[in-house]
């Protein structure tokens, strides 16, 4: 199927797919309303459309383009000019679609209580769903054009040049393209198959009732995910952390059978879709589109699971430093040192901008422009969604959401999201629309690369031992959260989907046992078990909203670590060549398969040493942290 046809559905999830969502602590800079926030800290929506009248014109124009596309039905095989003209109209439609959708979506993101915006968003979604049904004929008709003929057309017709990669890749996936009638039938179910995920969201947000607990200081608090994050990060009383943990997880535990039924529905839908498209497994269905070898996924799981010793060493170090007789999962966020420095936003922007200088002055200047030009929505306001993300609008620029709270963690979030923003900017500047969109398989490379640049820059420019400990802890937690945890999640998804494919039952008890088995392989007896230890599967949104997605965080982290080493180490000539390869990767959008793009940049994920490099890095960081802690102890 043509990539651009797939991408109209992907527009709905851009903020999810190119993102780093985090639970929010209480912001140091607090505004009672959005109107109070200075304009320089808010998105400039007029870069997309000056007003709603212009938006409305493009919204209507999409329907006109849809009608024009219908006029080519039965004619695509008549000649290259017909195909080129249809693709041009489709491209114009897609450019409008990005703008039409994001103009509404972004405004709704910072004003989720605005029902008028929600209604407009539903309008757009309905239009896109109609588009999917109306164009179900395109892929089956295009695939009837012989591959040899298509090669001749691409070679002789300049208007098809930009589409060469997508058009030729279509034949690799030929066996998964169904008849027009079957493709149309599947399109009717596109909304239905997403229902289970929507039920999860409703159950976990709109209908959830969080519990109240009384802490040791007599204060009563309702333990929402955000409050839980604050308590386990800042409350030094282990019993308070335990109360918050039990209060939060008990809410999900009580609904475990409902969550199991929802997840079973999602996995069953994935298996039905995979079989309908003639894939051997759900994993094959997710990987083959981007030509990712199955062994990359399975070897990642195997290699990481066999090398969890650095995590256990880190936990033992934390347990010793914190002086805990028993160590639980909810003890994992408490700082190892008395360090609570605030980082004002302007200072964070300055340090992040300074840290990317190794990528060149041109890169640095582009990043600086991003922070000064209405691309970032910085502070929390009532009605604004939590977390952070970066999402592009082709022909305009990326838009980056923050809820900046002056913590060290958010300084790294700023660097992370600016990595996405720069990746999107460079891809859009250097690629035609047909190949501007990079895959999720490479999406987290630039973001984690920027985080490593920031870590090294801050470590080089601080003499405060407590800040050094905080920075090393940040880096360690980043590897555990982005590399180890996501691989663990990927293992869980693979095991459950495999069970469904084999016709085995799925219920709450089975899901809990699967999770418990994997967790035991990762952590062993390093952490204490509780009644709720094996129930995190109930509340991880990626399982319900984007199956077989999270492994890419781990592969991207491994790729980023390898690229960083190449760019920053070795002789000048080698480093310069490595930097050029890396920047070429960021500029390449989706002009090749992601595995090939990474190989050109210098990364081969099929080799175990690429994965082991991250594991060894974690081991070294834990040793470095232990040394820094010993220095503080002696001083």
Helix (H) or strand (E) holding 437: none
Phi, psi of 30 (to 5 degrees): -120, 130
- How far is Cα 185 from Cα 263, in angstroms, rounded to an integer? 24
Please state, in angstroms and as integers, the Cα–Cα distance from residue 378 to each residue in 35, 230, 293, 375, 524, following that order. 13, 20, 39, 9, 41
Which is more confident, 318 or 3?
318
Q: What is the pLDDT of residues 610-631, one digit of tens each?
A: 999 999 999 999 999 999 999 8
390 bridge partner residues: 400
- How far is Cα 404 from Cα 168, in angstroms, rounded to an integer? 44
Please state, in angstroms and as integers, the Cα–Cα distance from residue 622 to each residue in 24, 232, 462, 480, 522, following that order. 26, 21, 19, 11, 17
Question: Cβ(512)–Cβ(256) under 8 Å?
Answer: yes
- Domain membership of residue 544 as a residue range: 187-338+468-551
- How far is Cα 225 from Cα 221, in angstroms, rounded to an integer? 12
Contacts of 398 (CB under 8 A, 6+ apart): 370, 375, 390, 391, 392, 420, 421, 424, 425
Q: What is the pLDDT of residues 499-539, one digit of tens each?
A: 999 999 999 999 999 999 999 999 999 999 999 999 999 99
Residue 82 placed within a domain? yes
Question: Are 48 and 132 found together in one domain?
Answer: yes
Question: Are 329 and 204 found together in one domain?
Answer: yes
Closest C-alpha among 165, 163, 141 to residue 90: 163
Which is more confident, 186 or 13?
186
pLDDT at position 27 over 60 = no
pLDDT at position 6 over 60 = no
Mean of the per-residue pLDDT values of the chain = 91
What pLDDT does residue 155 have? 97
What confidence tier does 26 reach under pLDDT thresholds 50, 70, 90? very low
391 bridge partner residues: 399
Residue 96 placed within a domain? yes
pLDDT at position 567 over 50 = yes
Contacts of 226 (CB under 8 A, 6+ apart): 23, 24, 25, 386
Question: Are 161 and 233 found together in one domain?
Answer: no
Which pairing describes strands 389-391 and 212-214: parallel, antiparallel, or unpaired?
unpaired
Question: Are 278 and 312 found together in one domain?
Answer: yes
pLDDT at position 3 over 70 = no
Question: Cβ(501)–Cβ(271) under 8 Å?
Answer: yes
Residue 25 placed within a domain? no
Which pairing describes strands 220-222 and 389-391: parallel, antiparallel, or unpaired?
unpaired
Question: Are 265 and 330 found together in one domain?
Answer: yes
- How far is Cα 228 from Cα 24, in angstroms, rounded to an integer? 10
What confidence tier does 5 reach under pLDDT thresholds 50, 70, 90? very low
Phi, psi of 613 (to 5 degrees): -60, -40
Residue 498 placed within a domain? yes
What pLDDT does residue 207 have? 87
CATH number assigned to the domain comprising residue 168: 1.20.140.70
pTM of the shown model: 0.86
- How far is Cα 224 from Cα 413, in angstroms, rounded to an integer? 22
218: left (phi over 0), alpha (psi -120 to 50) or beta: left
Question: Are 121 and 147 found together in one domain?
Answer: yes
What confidence tier does 226 reach under pLDDT thresholds 50, 70, 90? confident
**Burial letters for 229-250: b for 16+ Cβ neighbours within 10 Å, e otherwise?**
bbbbbebeebebbbbbbbbbbb
Last residue of one domain, picked from the residues 491, 518, 551: 551
Exposure on the CB side of residue 111, measured as CA atoms within 13 A: 17
Exposure on the CB side of residue 4, measured as CA atoms within 13 A: 28
What confidence tier does 230 reach under pLDDT thresholds 50, 70, 90? confident
| Average pLDDT of span 101-112 | 93
Question: Are 75 and 154 found together in one domain?
Answer: yes
Closest C-alpha among 336, 302, 246 to residue 518: 302
What pLDDT does residue 634 have? 77
Question: Are 101 and 162 found together in one domain?
Answer: yes
Closest C-alpha among 608, 564, 544, 630 to residue 258: 544
What pLDDT does residue 23 have? 36
- How far is Cα 500 from Cα 283, in angstroms, rounded to an integer? 12
Question: Cβ(69)–Cβ(86) under 8 Å?
Answer: yes
pLDDT at position 309 over 60 = yes
Rg (the chain; Cα; Å): 25
What pLDDT does residue 16 have? 36
Residue 65 placed within a domain? yes
What pLDDT does residue 12 have? 38
Question: Are 159 and 228 found together in one domain?
Answer: no
Last residue of one domain, picked from the residues 529, 551, 573: 551
What pLDDT does residue 2 have? 35
Question: Cβ(343)–Cβ(407) under 8 Å?
Answer: yes
Question: Are 196 and 330 found together in one domain?
Answer: yes
- How far is Cα 495 from Cα 302, in angstroms, rounded to an integer? 13
Tally of domains in the chain = 2
Question: Cβ(398)–Cβ(391) under 8 Å?
Answer: yes
Question: Cβ(120)–Cβ(106) under 8 Å?
Answer: no
Question: Are 139 and 59 found together in one domain?
Answer: yes
What pLDDT does residue 184 have? 75
Contacts of 546 (CB under 8 A, 6+ apart): 13, 16, 17
Residue 219 placed within a domain? yes
What confidence tier does 15 reach under pLDDT thresholds 50, 70, 90? very low
Closest C-alpha among 628, 557, 621, 624 to residue 311: 621
List 91, 417, 444, 493, catalytic entry: 417
What pLDDT does residue 29 have? 67
| Average pLDDT of span 410-427 | 97
528 as an active site residue: the answer is no
Which range among 6-20, 69-83, 519-533 shows the weakest confidence by mean pLDDT? Answer: 6-20
| Average pLDDT of span 420-444 | 96
- How far is Cα 626 from Cα 620, in angstroms, rounded to an integer? 10
- How far is Cα 463 from Cα 461, in angstroms, rounded to an integer? 7
Helix (H, G, I), strand (E, B) or coil at 158: helix
What confidence tier does 28 reach under pLDDT thresholds 50, 70, 90? low
Which pairing describes strands 220-222 and 212-214: parallel, antiparallel, or unpaired?
antiparallel
Closest C-alpha among 608, 622, 494, 625 to residue 562: 608
Residue 81 placed within a domain? yes
Last residue of one domain, picked from the residues 500, 527, 551: 551
Residue 400 placed within a domain? no
Q: What is the pLDDT of residues 349-380, one digit of tens each?
A: 999 999 999 999 999 999 999 999 999 999 98
Question: Are 115 and 199 found together in one domain?
Answer: no
pLDDT at position 136 over 50 = yes
CATH number assigned to the domain comprising residue 241: 1.10.1370.20
């Amino acid at each position: 199927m043509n990539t651009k046809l797939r991408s109209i559905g992907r527009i709905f999830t851009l903020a999810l797919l190119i993102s780093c969502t985090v639970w929010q602590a209480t912001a140091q800079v607090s505004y009672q309303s959005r109107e109070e926030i200075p304009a320089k800290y808010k998105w400039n929506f007029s870069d997309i459309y000056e007003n709603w009248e212009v938006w409305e014109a493009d919204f209507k124009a999409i329907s006109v383009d849809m009608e024009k596309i219908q006029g080519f039905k039965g004619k695509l095989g008549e000649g290259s000019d017909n195909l080129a003209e249809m693709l041009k109209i489709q491209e114009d439609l897609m450019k409008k679609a990005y703008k039409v959708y994001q103009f509404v979506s972004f405004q709704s993101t910072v004003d989720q209580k605005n029902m008028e915006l929600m209604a407009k968003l539903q309008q757009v979604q309905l239009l896109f769903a109609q588009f999917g049904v109306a164009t179900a004929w395109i892929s089956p008709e295009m695939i009837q054009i012989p591959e040899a003929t298509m090669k001749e057309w691409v070679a002789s017709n300049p208007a098809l040049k930009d589409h060469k990669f997508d058009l030729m890749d279509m034949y690799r996936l030929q066996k998964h393209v169904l008849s027009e009638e079957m493709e149309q039938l599947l399109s009717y179910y596109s909304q239905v198959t997403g229902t289970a995920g929507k039920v999860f969201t409703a159950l976990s947000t709109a209908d959830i009732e969080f519990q109240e607990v009384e802490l040791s200081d007599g204060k009563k608090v309702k333990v929402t995910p955000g409050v839980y994050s604050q308590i386990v990060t800042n409350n030094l009383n282990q019993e308070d952390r335990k109360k918050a943990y039990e209060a939060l997880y008990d809410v999900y535990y009580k609904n475990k059978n409902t969550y199991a039924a929802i997840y079973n529905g999602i996995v069953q839908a994935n298996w039905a879709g995979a079989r309908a498209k003639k894939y051997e497994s759900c994993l094959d269905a997710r990987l083959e589109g981007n030509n990712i070898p199955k062994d990359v996924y399975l070897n990642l799981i195997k290699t990481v699971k066999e090398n969890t010793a650095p995590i256990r060493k880190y936990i033992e170090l934390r347990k010793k430093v914190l002086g805990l007789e028993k160590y639980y999962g909810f003890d994992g966020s408490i700082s190892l040192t008395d360090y609570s420095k605030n980082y004002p936003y302007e200072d964070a922007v300055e340090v992040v901008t300074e840290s990317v200088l190794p990528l060149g002055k041109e890169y640095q200047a582009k990043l600086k422009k991003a922070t000064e030009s209405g691309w970032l929505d910085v502070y929390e306001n009532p009605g604004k969604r939590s977390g952070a993300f970066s999402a592009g609008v082709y022909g305009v620029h990326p838009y980056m959401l923050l809820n900046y709270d002056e913590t060290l963690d958010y300084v790294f979030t700023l660097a992370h999201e600016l990595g996405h923003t720069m990746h999107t900017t460079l891809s859009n500047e250097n690629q035609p629309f047909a190949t501007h969109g990079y895959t999720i398989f490479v999406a987290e490379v630039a973001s984690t690369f920027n985080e490593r640049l920031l870590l090294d820059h801050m470590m080089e420019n601080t003499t405060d031992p407590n800040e050094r400990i905080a920075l090393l802890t940040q880096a360690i937690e980043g590897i555990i959260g982005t590399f180890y945890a996501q691989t663990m999640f990927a293992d869980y998804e693979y095991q459950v989907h495999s069970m469904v494919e084999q016709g085995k039952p799925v219920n709450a008890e089975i899901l809990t046992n699967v999770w418990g088995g994997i967790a035991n392989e990762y952590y062993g007896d390093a952490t204490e078990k509780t009644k709720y230890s094996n129930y995190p599967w109930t509340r991880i949104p990626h399982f319900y909203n984007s199956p077989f997605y999270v492994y890419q965080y781990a592969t991207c982290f491994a790729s980023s670590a390898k690229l960083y080493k190449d760019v920053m180490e070795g002789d000048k000539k080698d480093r310069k060549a490595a930097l050029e390869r890396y920047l070429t990767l960021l500029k390449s959008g989706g002009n090749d398969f992601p595995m090939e793009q990474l190989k050109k940049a210098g990364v081969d994920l099929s080799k175990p040493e690429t994965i082991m490099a991250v594991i060894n890095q974690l081991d070294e960081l834990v040793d470095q942290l232990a040394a820094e802690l010993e220095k503080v102890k002696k001083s």
